[in-house]
Amino acid sequence: MSDSELLQAQSNDPSFDDVWDELKWRGLIHVSTDEAALKQLLAGEPVTYYCGFDPTASSLHLGNLVQLLTMRRLQLAGHKPLGLVGGSTGLIGDPRPSAERTLNTKETVSEWVGYLQAQVSRFLSAEGENAVRLVNNLDWTAPLSAIDFLRDIGKHFRVGTMLKKDAVSARLNSDEGISYTEFSYQILQGMDYLELYRQYGCVLQTGGSDQWGNLTSGTDLIRRVERESAHAIGTPLITNSDGTKFGKSEGNAIWLDASLTSPYALYQFWVNTDDADVIARLKVFTFLSRAEIERLDGAVAAEPFKREAQRRLAFEVTSLVHGVAATEAAIAATQALFGQGDLAGLETATLEAALRELPNTTTAPSATVTQSLVDTGLTASLGEARRAIAQGGVYLNNVKVDDGELPVGDALLPGGMAVLRRGKKTLAGLFVE
């Protein structure tokens, strides 16, 4: 199924009165401007709205996916999306609570703008009267002189208000402090909203709730300059039920670019979702109906060991990000690794991506299975490795190993790889050179 076919298959749930009610049910409204006015606005004639993405990396990540899917739900309701990739704000960097950002070169940021624009366009339809329009804030900031910026934009901001913004306040109270560069970021974002209001009649901005200070800098600026009302929606920051940060895997972000986070790794991330979190994730990250999600909620309660909700979540989101074919390949790899499919039949790239997610080592063809168990950490010693083999609990490419002195090079899969397994679930990868 192509990207366009996936988009065509998406729909909002008709069981809701309007898109506002569905956004609320899905838990996507953490904070907003006037709720009654927003509900009325979104239930009426199509309006233009936007969300901004800064090119501070070469790819978007799962946190950005929350915004992309919120934008898509609004588009499905008939509203007109603007996808802003910040060629200028990406040169500055939104203040983090902890420390100053490392500034990237103009050439790097420009290259990343192209990458992110391509990603944004995959999740929003480019067809119809409300087709997505991609914009770059460098187009209106680059020609602006510093004097004009201070006279026309800066004079409308009050330093006292700026100091109260959460990110700024946190940095001011830290040892790191905050530079004037990052302090000015909220002015640039506010100017973006004003410019989009003037050019396209944009009256709504969405973003994460941690961006609320930046979102309201735009609504305040439009009110001061244009004497008009504009709106903002802050989506909740997604956290796990145990309070840990969502979308992190051993300190690394989960990226939407397959070269940074493989379809296999993305599928595994979702299939390992905790029972306590899976229904909330289905609401936010899939287009499944309320009735289907409630059915899956019942399945979690009645038969959690089947993990039906997790498998559905993994399939839906991985298909959304990488397509159905890549998702099916990831599922086939998952099954084959645990002895339920043909390892030799997997695509080499899929198998390699899967093995990179496991404990793995690069070894010589002459290395024995016994030594490889130790090298990959599946056993702590050669003696433990020999006992595991003698007990019949070691497999090389899903074939039981009887002889621990067997060279791993005698049983390689295409691409010079092998899968070592101890017991039913403990796996490691071998890359033989």
Of the listed ranges 27-36, 162-171, 258-267, 406-415, the least confidently predicted one is 162-171
**Long-range Cβ contacts of 327-334 (<8 Å, 24+ apart):** 327/263, 327/267, 329/263, 329/264, 330/262, 330/263, 330/264, 330/266, 330/267, 330/268, 330/354, 331/267, 333/264, 334/264, 334/267, 334/268, 334/271
Is residue 249 predicted with pLDDT exceeding 60? no
Burial of 145 per CB tally in 10 Å (0-12, 13-18, 19+): exposed
Please check whether residue 310 is in contact with residue 33, taking contact to mean a CB–CB distance below 8 angstroms: no
Interior angle at CA 78, CA 59 and CA 294, nearest 5: 75
CA distance 152 to 141: 12
Per DSSP, what are the bridge partners of residue 252?
249
- pLDDT greater than 80 at residue 155: yes
Overall average pLDDT of the 413-430 stretch = 94
pLDDT (tens digit per residue) in 133-153: 999 999 999 999 999 999 999
Tens of pLDDT, residues 261-303: 999 999 999 999 999 999 999 999 999 999 999 999 999 999 9
Longest dimension (CA), the chain: 81
Residue (of 190, 186, 184, 189) closest to 221 by Cα position: 190
Q: Structure tokens of 172?
A: 């001011």
For residue 339, what pLDDT is reported?
A: 86
Q: Which residue spans of the chain are classified as CATH 3.10.290.10?
A: 358-433
pLDDT in tens, 56-69: 999 999 999 999 99
pLDDT of 84 over the 80 cut: yes
- Alpha-helical runs (H) found in 303-362: 308-322, 324-337, 348-356
Question: In terms of pTM, does the model score above 0.85?
Answer: yes
Report the distance separating Cα 188 and Cα 52, nearest Å. 12
pLDDT > 70: what percent of the chain? Answer: 99
| Residue 250's pLDDT band (cuts 50, 70, 90) | very low
Which residue in this structure is represented by tokens 């939407």? Answer: 256
| Least confident residue range of 109-123, 141-155, 197-211, 239-253 | 239-253
Residue 50, SS3 per DSSP: strand
* Average pLDDT for 401-407: 95
- Residues in CB range of 19: below 8 A, 6 or more apart: 12, 42, 43, 73, 74, 76, 77, 79
Give the model's confidence band at 329: pLDDT under 50 very low, under 70 low, under 90 confident, else very high: very high
**In this predicted structure, which of 92-106, 220-234, 241-255 has the lowest mean pLDDT?**
241-255
Per-residue pLDDT, 248: 56
Chain region(s) in the chain for CATH 1.10.240.10: 240-347
Specify the DSSP element, H or E, that contains 139. helix 138-141
Q: In the CATH scheme, what architecture does the domain 240-347 have?
A: Orthogonal Bundle (1.10)
Cα–Cα distances in angstroms (integers) from residue 335 to residues 144, 339, 361, in the given order:
57, 7, 22
Numbered ranges of CATH 3.40.50.620 in the chain: 3-237
Alpha-carbon gap, residue 371 to 404, rounded angstroms: 8
**What is residue 408's predicted lDDT score, i.e. its pLDDT?**
95
CATH 3.40.50.300 for domain 358-433, yes or no, is no
pLDDT of residue 251: 55
Is 3-237 a domain of CATH 3.40.50.620?
Answer: yes
